[in-house]
């Protein structure tokens, strides 16, 4: 077990509790898809796991240590976070941008060394985007930026990669590419936790599902056990169906005719 979420609750100051008593664990090679409608706290839950937000109750343990008592550098050596939007302040070359992922392992007044550039280059190779190394991050497409952001996370050499809506604002082809990369990372031993609005992505990724609804209820389990027509229709408030497609060997989530 790498990370353990133990009975956490969260409420923004002056607002009702967003979610409560959430517990689950994250293990090596595991994929967890956090699903649910807008506004239920998916990103907030992810932020708590990244120590970017502090639960109002409960605690999160990273390799047995309370996350709140760990230094930022300690956490960054184990957890990488890929936000939904990244707007760079400067027009970095892609390779230089990915090198910044090595920061947790570089001294405070130390400059990146050749070894750090080699780590960054390897991360680009893992993502099959080495050809972008010397392009400017501000001048590549949205889909390419997302892949570069994941490469930067890999350069941290973490154990867990947290991704907030990694397929948001991508065309369909790039969405599938990112999902393939998530599965590849899990096969290589990384734990991957993503938020998604699309239940079909959770079906594609298999793994586990963590579902939040507007009543603050939380359901966790394997995608095969959790995802059903009744569950999805109740979660999203629309009529959804699961159909098995023999030619591709999997269930797909489809909406009823409009």
The side-by-side arrangement of strands in the sheet containing 191-195 is: 79-82, 160-164, 191-195, 31-35, 208-212, 218-222
Task: Convert the pLDDT of each residue in 4-38 to its tens digit.
Answer: 999 999 999 999 999 999 999 999 999 999 999 99
Report the pLDDT value the prediction gives residue 84, as an integer from 0 to 100: 85
Percent of the chain, pLDDT > 90? Answer: 79
pLDDT of 40 reads: 93
Cα gap 43→155, rounded to integer Å: 23
Residue 179 has pLDDT above 80, yes or no: yes
* Angle, vertex CA 159, rays to CA 42 and CA 180, nearest 5: 65
Model confidence band, residue 56 (pLDDT cutoffs 50, 70, 90): very high
Q: Using CA atoms, how far apart are residues 78 and 62, in angstroms rounded to an integer?
A: 8
Mean pLDDT across the chain: 93
The pLDDT, as a whole number, for residue 28 is 96
Specify the pLDDT at position 86.
76
pLDDT digits (tens, 9 = 90+) for 182-224: 999 999 999 999 999 999 999 999 999 999 988 878 999 999 9
What's the sign of the alpha-carbon dihedral 46, 25, 207, 180? Answer: positive
Q: What integer pLDDT is reported at residue 70 of this predicted model?
A: 96
Task: Please tell me the predicted confidence (pLDDT) of residue 220.
Answer: 97
What share of the chain has pLDDT > 70, as a percent? 100
- H/E/C letters for each residue in the chain? CCEEEEEEEECCCCCCCCEEEEEEEECCCCEEEEECCCCCCHHHHHHHHCCCCCCCEEEEEECCEEHHHCCHHHHHCCEEEECCCCCCCCCCEHHHHHHHHHHHHCCCCCCCCHHHHHHHHHHHHHCCCHHHCCCEHHHCCHHHHHHHHHHHHHHCCCCEEEEECCCCCCCHHHHHHHHHHHHHHHHCCCEEEEECCCHHHHHHHCCEEEEECCCCCEEEEEHHHHCCHHHHHHHHCCCEEEEEECCCCEEEEEECCC
Neighbours of 120 (CB within 10 A): 25
Task: Please state the domain extents for the chain.
Answer: 3-78+160-255, 88-157
Query: Residue range 96-115: average pLDDT?
Result: 91
pLDDT in the model for residue 143 = 83
Place of tokens 């309370």: 66
Q: What is the pLDDT of residue 215?
A: 81
Residue 229: predicted pLDDT: 94
Residues 119-132 have pLDDT tens digits of 999 999 999 899 99
pLDDT exceeds 80 at position 87: no
pTM: 0.94
CATH code for the structural domain at 3-78+160-255: 3.40.50.300
Check residue 11 and give its pLDDT.
94
């Amino acid at each position: 077990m790498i990370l353990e979420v133990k009975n956490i609750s969260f409420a923004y100051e002056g607002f009702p509790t967003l979610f409560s008593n959430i517990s689950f664990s994250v293990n090596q090679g595991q994929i967890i898809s956090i699903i649910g409608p807008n506004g239920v706290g998916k990103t907030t839950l992810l932020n708590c796991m990244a120590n970017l937000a502090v639960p109002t109750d409960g605690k999160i343990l990273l390799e047995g240590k309370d996350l709140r008592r760990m230094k930022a550098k300690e956490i960054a050596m184990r957890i990488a976070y890929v936000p939904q939007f990244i707007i760079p302040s400067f027009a970095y070359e892609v390779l230089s941008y990915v090198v910044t992922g090595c920061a947790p392992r570089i001294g405070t007044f130390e400059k990146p060394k050749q070894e750090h550039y080699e780590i960054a280059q390897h991360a680009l190779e893992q993502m099959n985007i080495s050809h972008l190394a010397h392009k400017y991050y501000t001048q590549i497409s949205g889909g390419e930026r997302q892949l570069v952001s994941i490469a930067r996370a890999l350069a941290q050499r973490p154990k867990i990669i947290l991704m907030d809506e990694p397929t948001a604002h991508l065309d369909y082809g790039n969405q599938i590419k990112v999902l393939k990369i998530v599965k590849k990372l899990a096969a290589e031993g990384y734990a991957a936790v993503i938020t998604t609005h699309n239940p079909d992505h959770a079906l594609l990724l298999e793994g586990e599902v963590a579902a939040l609804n507007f009543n603050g209820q939380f359901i966790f389990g394997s995608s095969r056990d959790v995802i059903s027509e009744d569950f999805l229709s109740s979660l999203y408030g629309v009529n959804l169906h699961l159909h098995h497609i023999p030619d591709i060997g999997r269930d797909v989530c489809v909406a009823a005719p409009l």
